[in-house]
Structure 1
């Protein structure tokens, strides 16, 4: 409404506007449900993420407080440094005034009584004045005070003139010259005026520096008060935030406790399932190892029967031909002799492959003799000394257990030859009523702790699986002071349920 306008001149409300105002009221009826939904989502979000928000805010406040404190500390340090520099400049100005007065006194004393002591003292004082002037000049240039620097330039020029004038007077050696050097009343009046001007300028600079120092101290005290207030405010705010955080953590812990109770039941069910699957996998692994050993036995038998007969017949034929051609064709006989050597190497390789696949000593003489033969051959190849702790007589443990223990011993001796750099090996076999144990120890460099956790060491993994498939226990550890010990413990007879699982696999 414009000034002076009567309410009677206001336009009447239109029915259209009345209808429009009524429509939003009708449409706004569902609004409380939407607002409640948004409020519920907001509350849920706050319950879920309030700890993160509070922690983030606390960290930001803490970092901000540290930044404020550090900046305040730097300002206070700079202000204290400014105050100390100003105090030092004040002291130097006082020293400069005293030294200039000393120069004047030395000059007058020499004029009354020419003496070398006055000259030496004047020279020392003049050098000290120059050092003080240089220090003050560097100070005023560093702080960048143009007015003080201009005043100090005048003082420095007057001091230099005083030093030069006094040096010229004290340099005259003759008595007549000394008498001539006695200052006239006009010179004395001019010298007194110069000294008064210097004293006034130095006093003005000292007052300026004292004010500068006092101003810096007042600023540092103000910064200290501000820093104290900031720290108090930040600490109070952090306390409030941490109280809210701990309250929210209590709510979350209660919720987690309820969830934990539900997870315990699920974990027990999963443990039972994992246990059942593990037993099935162990039985399957044992079945696969049995199949592998059977295939190795069949292949070894075929190599022995088929390839062995072929190589033996070929060797006999080559030997017969060589005997016939030995005198008539010496060069061809030499070639045939080399062929006989190659056939011997092939036969030896065939025997070694067959022994690795299916050791005949184990099949014919038993586990004790096989372990002794295996260790003796490894000792001969690697230059070891062997210590045995084996039963006096061979025992029958069953084909499956014997081949498993033999494979573990074979892999252990192979690893010792490759990595241990040992000089002594100990092989022990213990047979009880229910369990059988095998121990192989070397005095090498010892297995590293990180190698025990590696999953790429197929030899160790294979030994563990072979033993665990029989329900046994496999351990490998580093012995003191150096060396590696491998221990295996297995039951002598398999349980009935494991046999059933193997057959079903």
Structure 2
């Protein structure tokens, strides 16, 4: 039992080990494929988070600056309040000490100072209530009460009778009671507000440093992410470029291989066609020399016997006459076969005469109307080119007779210093585009191979309104064909 469990665990362990690389491979593939999306998502999240942090920091800094400005304003008001209180005290003393004519000015100045003090106290009272600072509010309440008492006492002095003024003059010569406490309280309040402003400024500077650090960190992180993204993109582009170059190299190699194979196949096709033409020539020679001699000798012997038995054996003469007719048909068939294999008129008289003869015979057999545009005199183009053009014309006329149901044929042969062009057109039913792409049309394929093997091109296309046009163009070779075999006409 233990051995079986150990064996089972040993078999399951490799499976788990092999599963991990599969997951790692899938993860690596996922990261290679979607790393740019992950990086862009992280960058967007970081950017949005950074904007939120910066906006919250801006709002905190603005609030802290607002606190600092309010504290500075409160400090200024407290200073102005202390100055106005001192002015109030000075105006009151000056009023009681001055002669009666000058008292009115001091009284007016006292009232103006009192108005300013009340406005300042109301503003500061609202400020301390907004701040909800209980300690400062209690201290300011003491200052406010003391100032109200001082203003009330001063107003009473200004509006009182002469004996009151005399008493006030006696009191004015003494230092005011509680003046030091009021000054101390105002100084403490100013110090508190200065500390409040300084603390707000320090907090705003700290928030500015934090915001600057966050901006720098976010920018650095985004730069790193974009560097990684562009590095990955560069790796992908480099990989694609290598793959593209490899594909281009393979395509060039394939194109070169196809070109070489095409050249080899064309050379092989031309070689096979040359071998076929040579074999036809040899076979035509054998038929002409051997079979022709046999048929001619047989005809002569049968004709001699026929002449000898003409008077004595009428029945045998009739048989011999039929035999002579069969021999004539055999000789004619031999001639036609020889002409198909190796046209003697092409070898003996040239391409122009061969084309004219071929067209005349085809027109007579099929009842065509013939239009010929051939040079006046025969020219030598080389045996290979002449036989190729002749076979093109022969195959074209054969196809026109079999499939086109034509009533007229036009043959045109043009030559210049560089090229020779043969055009054959009929007014038949025409050729369909799909017929040009079929691979089992050996006649068309043979024409293409013959022409392309000699560096030429052939164009087969329908005519308007109906019919087919075949045009073969080949480079011209001004050389006599020493290998041409001239067969006598039997």
TM-score (ref. length: structure 1) = 0.50
CA contact 2:431–2:467 (8 Å) conserved in 1: yes
* Residues 1:335 and 2:322 are matched in the alignment: no
Q: Does 1:308 align with 2:308?
A: no
Aligned to 2:462: 478
Kindly indicate whether the alpha-carbon contact (under 8 Å) linking 1:470 and 1:494 is maintained by their aligned counterparts in 2: no
Task: Indicate the SS of the match to 1:429.
Answer: strand
Question: How many matched pairs?
Answer: 269
Q: 1:29 to 1:372 in 2, by over 3 A?
A: closer
Residue 467 (structure 1) aligned to one of 445, 448, 451: 451
- Distance verdict in 2 for CA 1:44–1:319, change over 3 Å: farther
Return the offset for 1:43. Answer: 3.7
Please state how far the C-alpha of 1:354 moved relative to its aligned partner.
Answer: 0.3
Say whether 1:406 aligns with 2:370.
no
Contact 2:456 2:475 in 1 (8 A): yes
Distance 1:403 1:34, change over 3 A: closer
- Does 2:251 correspond to 1:267? yes
Moved over 4 A (4+): 28-35, 44-50, 251-258
Moved more, 28-37 or 393-402: 28-37
Q: Deviations along 1:454-478, whole A, 9 cap, x unmatched?
A: 1011100111111111111011111
Structure 1 partner of 2:341: 357
Structure showing greater Rg: 2
**Partner residue, 1:318:** 302
Question: In 2, distance between residues paired with 1:476 and 1:422?
Answer: 16
Give CA-to-partner distance per residue, 1:188-219, whole Å, 9 cap, x none: xxxxxxxxxxxxxxxxxxxxxxxxxxxxxxxx
TM normalised by structure 2 equals 0.51
CA distance in 1 between counterparts of 2:353 and 2:338 reads 18
Give 1:392's match in structure 2, choosing from 371, 376, 385: 376
**Alpha-carbon spacing, 1:275–1:384, altered in 2? closer, same or farther (3 Å):** same
Mean alpha-carbon deviation: is it higher for 354-363 or for 326-335? Answer: 326-335
What is residue 279 of structure 2 aligned with on the other side? 295
In 1, the alpha carbon distance for the partners of 2:349 and 2:15 equals 93
| Aligned mates of 1:284, 1:294 — CA distance in 2 | 15
Q: Distance in 1 between matches of 2:373 and 2:28?
A: 71
How far 1:329 sits from its partner (Å)?
Answer: 1.5
What does 1:51-62 correspond to in 2, within 5 Å? none
Counterpart in 2 of 1:490? Answer: 474
The change in CA–CA distance for 1:493 and 1:430 in structure 2 (over 3 A counts) is same
C-alpha distance 341-34 of structure 1, shift in aligned 2 (>3 A) = closer
Distance (whole Å) between structure 1 residues aligned to residue 369 and residue 312 of structure 2: 51
1:131-183: CA deviation from partner (whole Å, max 9, x where unpaired):
xxxxxxxxxxxxxxxxxxxxxxxxxxxxxxxxxxxxxxxxxxxxxxxxxxxxx
* Aligned twin of 2:75: none
Displacement of 1:493? 3.2
Structure 2 Cα separation of the partners of residues 490 and 460 of structure 1: 16
Cα shift at 1:355: 0.3
Q: Distance in 2 between the 1:369 and 1:350 partners?
A: 21
Distance 1:47 1:413, change over 3 A: farther
CA–CA separation in structure 2 for the residues paired with 1:389 and 1:340: 41
Deviations 1:263-300 (Å, cap 9, x if unpaired)? Answer: 01111122122222322322222222222211211111
CA distance in structure 2 between the aligned counterparts of 1:453 and 1:267, rounded to whole angstroms: 25
Q: Distance in 1 between matches of 2:237 and 2:313?
A: 97
Q: Aligned partners of 1:331 and 1:311: how far apart in 2?
A: 23
The structure 2 residue matched to 1:431, chosen from 409, 415, 418, is 415
Unaligned runs of 5+ in 1: 1-27, 51-250, 496-505
Q: CA deviation at 1:437?
A: 0.7
Give per-residue Cα distances to partners, 1:355-412, cap 9 Å, x unaligned: 0011110011110000000000000000001101111111110111101110110010
Match of 1:421 in 2: 405
Q: CA deviation at 1:49?
A: 12
1:13-28 equivalence runs, <5 A: none
